Each structure stands twice: as C-alpha cells, then as structure tokens.
C-alpha cells in the first residue's frame, strides 16, 4: 500500500500517463477487497487532480482502472472515463480517433448509459464553440453527437435545431471558405467526414487545362483541324427609337405606334378586316350608335 500511495504522490502533469500505467500493474497483483477499496479512493482523488491539471487522457485511464478494480460500480466509472476521454480527444483535435471511440461506445454492453452521457458532453461543447464563432470544432462535435446517437431521433441542440441541420449548415460554411482559398484537399477531407449525414457522393478535384498545354507537357498529342477564329460580338440595331418615359405614371404607357409589335398588329388588323367573314360580322357601328343613344338619353333631363 505504501508503494502504491508513494507512486500516486509522484504523479504530475509530465509523468501522469507513466504513473497510471505503473499503478495498473501494481493493482493487478492485489486481490484483497479491502485494500482494493482503499486503492480506489486514492485513485479517485488522483483522477480528480489530473482533470484539474488538464491531463484528461491520464484521468480517463485512471477511471478505467477504478472500473476494473470495482466491478460492482463499473458503469459509474465507465461513464466518467468515456466522458473525459471524449473531451480529451476532441480538445486535442483528434477527431478521427474520437470517431473510432464513438463506434466503440455504441458497441459497448452499457451503450445506452454511455451514449446519454456522451451526447450531453458533445452537445454542450458544440454549443460552446458555436457561441464562440468557431465553426470547425463545432461541426465535429455535432457530427460526433450525430454518430453517437445514430441519427437525429430524440436529440436537438440548444437552439432547437436537429443535429443534421447543424452539420449541413456548418459544412456548407466551411466548404465555401476552403474552396475560395483554393484548399481543395481540405475541402474533400471535410466532405468525406460529413457526407454520410448529407447523403452526398464522393467529391473529387480536377485540374482544367487546355489541349495545347497538355500537349506541351507531353500528356497528349494535339492536331489543329481548323484555325482558331475569334467570335465577333453581334451588332444590335433597333428600327425604332427608345420609348419616351417620363416621371408621371401616365407617361409610362407607350403609344401603339411606338410599340415594337405595332407593325405586326397593324398587319393582323388589316388582314382581318379584309376577309369576307370579318366584313359580314362587323357590328361596330350599331354598338357605337346604341352607346351614343344611351348616353344621350341618360343626359336628357326628365320632365315631370
């Protein structure tokens, strides 16, 4: 026990991982339940101290060691280990390893409990980075939460959005920035990590070159069949002057004579009026007469 406690006292930021590995080897040789309970209390204090020193990886290993020493409380310490390890991997930007660890958590026997705690941690960290206007880590936190939950079911962010919506919006923002900067490889890598959320296919980058440049580099053989010619811009001519527009709305209405289709309408009117059917069915004069008569009758005062 003294050796065990002395080893715990020597743990610091620099040697934390090595000390935890030595503690694991010592604990494996001690099978006394009473001594193991005492060891767990010391290890719990060590894990708390390592978290305060921002040695999250060593703290997670310590929690795993406590879970192995006390099988009756394995779920409790496994939850702490999973939460701290996710924080450690994401804080160091090791999102690929975090994705692998998320898959391990989903396959664990205590998956429901571990998933619940992991989701709460990832959502809290994602929202914190979103409020700090840090889209890249925020995207990875929400993506990992989406993978850990297995989709959108039953989970929303702090502002009520679905995880897939957050991932799509942040992904589009980052892709636009990367493409504008010409960082095509980074854009393709980002697309690969998120396309299972958006349902997109693979993304490729191609260099667009002319046949002449490709032939000059030895990558092709080019033969010019017709000489190059420049396409001249067309000369646009208008038969009529622009319509005179004034400031008043009444001036915005063009006269029939100045309309671009006035000639066509005149031809159609002439063809219609010259046909026999149009001549026999003309009823304009009677209608005008009737209208004139009605107007005169209405304007005549009534005598009593």
Residue reference for tokens 């079911």:
153
pLDDT of 164 reads 93
Residues 120 and 159 reside in one and the same domain: yes
In a domain, 131, yes or no: yes
Q: Label residue 285 by pLDDT band (50, 70, 90).
A: very low
Give tens-digit pLDDT for 20-52.
888 888 777 777 777 778 888 888 888 888 888
pLDDT of 252 reads 55
Number of domains in the chain: 2
In a domain, 285, yes or no: no
Containing structural domain, residue 132: 94-205
pLDDT of 215 reads 86
- For residue 126, give every residue at least 6 positions away whose Cβ sits within 8 Å of its Cβ, in sequence order, or none: 138, 141, 142, 145, 157, 166
Q: Which of 140-144, 145-149, 217-221 has the lowest mean pLDDT?
A: 217-221
In a domain, 188, yes or no: yes
d(CA 95, CA 92): 8
pLDDT of 15 reads 83
pLDDT of 294 reads 39
Give tens-digit pLDDT for 174-220.
999 999 999 999 999 999 999 999 888 888 888 888 888 888 888 78
Residues 40 and 140 reside in one and the same domain: no
In a domain, 105, yes or no: yes
Give tens-digit pLDDT for 210-248.
888 888 888 788 887 877 788 888 888 877 777 666 666
HSE toward the beta carbon, residue 206, CA cutoff 13 A? 4
Say yes or no to pLDDT of 173 above 90.
yes
Say yes or no to pLDDT of 265 above 90.
no
Domain end (from 46, 69, 92) = 92
Say yes or no to pLDDT of 134 above 80.
yes
Residues 196 and 116 reside in one and the same domain: yes
Cα 234 from chain centroid (whole Å): 44
pLDDT of 293 reads 39
Residues 180 and 108 reside in one and the same domain: yes
In a domain, 127, yes or no: yes
Residues 119 and 31 reside in one and the same domain: no
Give tens-digit pLDDT for 57-110.
889 988 988 888 888 888 888 889 999 999 999 999 899 999 999 998 888 767
Residues 182 and 99 reside in one and the same domain: yes
Domain end (from 92, 108, 142) = 92
In a domain, 108, yes or no: yes
In a domain, 170, yes or no: yes
Q: Is 15 helix (H, G, I), strand (E, B) or coil?
A: coil
pLDDT of 178 reads 93
Give counts: helices (H), strands (E), the chain.
14, 0
What's the average model confidence in pLDDT over 50-56?
87
Say yes or no to pLDDT of 249 above 70.
no
d(CA 288, CA 283): 9
29, 35, 37, 41: CA torsion to nearest 10: -90
Residues 196 and 108 reside in one and the same domain: yes
Residues 188 and 119 reside in one and the same domain: yes
For the entire predicted model, the pTM comes to 0.64
In a domain, 299, yes or no: no
pLDDT of 171 reads 93
Query: What's the burial of 171, exposed, middle or buried (CB within 10 Å: 0-12/13-18/19+)?
Result: buried
What's the average model confidence in pLDDT over 115-144?
93
Residues 110 and 163 reside in one and the same domain: yes
Say yes or no to pLDDT of 14 above 90.
no
The angle that helices 2-9 and 16-27 make with each other, rounded to 10 degrees, is 170
Residues 43 and 145 reside in one and the same domain: no
Cβ count within 10 A of residue 85: 23
d(CA 146, CA 119): 9
pLDDT of 33 reads 72
Domain end (from 176, 205, 234) = 205
Residues 199 and 122 reside in one and the same domain: yes
d(CA 283, CA 22): 112
Q: Kindly state the tokens that stand for 242.
A: 């622009």
Residues 125 and 187 reside in one and the same domain: yes
Nearest to 50 by CA among 88, 6, 97: 88
pLDDT of 27 reads 76
């Amino acid at each position: 026990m003294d050796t065990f406690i002395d080893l715990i006292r020597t743990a610091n930021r620099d040697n934390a991982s090595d000390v935890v590995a030595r503690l694991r080897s010592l604990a494996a040789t001690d099978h006394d339940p009473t001594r193991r309970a005492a060891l767990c209390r010391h290890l719990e204090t060590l894990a708390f101290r390592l978290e305060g020193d921002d040695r999250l990886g060593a703290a997670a290993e310590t929690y795993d060691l406590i879970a192995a020493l006390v099988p009756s409380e394995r779920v409790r310490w496994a939850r702490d280990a999973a939460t701290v390890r996710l924080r450690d991997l994401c804080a160091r930007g090791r999102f690929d390893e975090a994705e692998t660890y998320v898959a391990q958590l989903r396959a664990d026997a205590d998956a429901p409990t571990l998933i619940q705690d992991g989701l709460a941690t990832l959502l809290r960290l994602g929202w914190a980075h979103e409020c700090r206007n840090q889209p890249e880590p925020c995207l990875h936190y929400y993506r990992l939460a989406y993978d850990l939950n297995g989709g959108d079911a039953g989970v929303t962010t702090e502002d009520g959005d679905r995880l897939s919506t957050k991932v799509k919006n942040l992904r589009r923002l980052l892709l636009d920035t990367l493409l504008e900067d010409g960082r095509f490889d980074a854009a393709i890598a980002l697309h690969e990590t998120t396309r299972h959320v958006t349902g997109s296919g693979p993304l490729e980058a191609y260099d667009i070159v002319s046949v002449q440049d490709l032939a000059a580099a030895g990558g092709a053989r080019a033969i010019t069949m017709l000489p190059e010619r420049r396409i001249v811009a067309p000369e646009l001519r208008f038969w009529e002057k622009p319509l005179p527009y004034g400031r008043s709305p009444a001036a915005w209405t063009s006269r029939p004579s100045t309309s671009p289709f006035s000639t066509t309408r005149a031809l159609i009117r002439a063809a219609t009026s010259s046909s026999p059917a149009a001549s026999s069915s003309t009823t304009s004069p009677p209608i005008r007469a009737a209208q004139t008569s009605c107007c005169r009758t209405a304007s005549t005062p009534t005598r009593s």
